[in-house]
Structure 1
Amino acid sequence: MKRSVAALVALFWAGDAHAQETTQGTVRALYEGCQDVSDGEFICSFYILGYVEGWAAFRDLMNATYGTDLTIEGNACAPSTVTPAQQWRVFMRWAEANPQNEHLPAGAGLMLAFSEAWPCDLPAAD
């Protein structure tokens, strides 16, 4: 069962192979797309909202199916009052501060940005 969970998580993070060969689907592409669009905040906020909702649905499905708690170190624990526009600003600032990560899949970049902005307070491992 643990292998199945690990495989699904790896598949989720791997993204599209074509997207990794080009800039499509990367942190760089999302950042540039959010800059180039006059309504970047509005459009990108919805992209980010879709990513966050998709991750939450995946996490809930895995937790319900396998009884696995996917609230792991590195996850983001943003307050419920955070808006998509705030998430967009966090991502944009993170992408500017971390150009070495521009090749990562956009979803991974979002998770890294959010986990830095809103880290989870997890109990220490024994």
Structure 2
Amino acid sequence: MTDTIMSDGTEKTTIDGEDINFDDFQLEDFDTAETAAEPVQHAGHDLNFFKNIPVTVTLEVASKELSLGDLMKAGEGSVIELDKMNGEPLDVKVNGSLLGHAEVVVVNDKYGLRLIDVIDTALSSVES
């Protein structure tokens, strides 16, 4: 804990994160009328709430990291080589995090994806 005297004469106390020991808190004994009246459901018991949360699924063909200067030189007809070979599985991302790999399919004139493998085992274990 650090005390600092401000220029206006007030004292400001700052707490360093290392000064706090959360083991000292008795959180399991914390009880209010609201929590006592209604039992708390733990996350492992009912996951139906989470099944309705919308997420964005993205199929990423490939990528390339290059400098802004190189990108500014690109014009119509320019070719930028990407990091995947033809025929390699594509990355499936959920809200930007890698879920697995897939291949492109066409269903009723719309693009779709066929999952080849799922990397995030925690997500697949949520299914009921």
Question: Please, what TM-score do these two structures have when normalized by structure 1?
Answer: 0.21
Decide which structure has greater helix share: 1
The structure with higher relative contact order (CA 8 Å, sep 6+) is 1
TM-score of the superposed pair, with normalisation by structure 2: 0.21
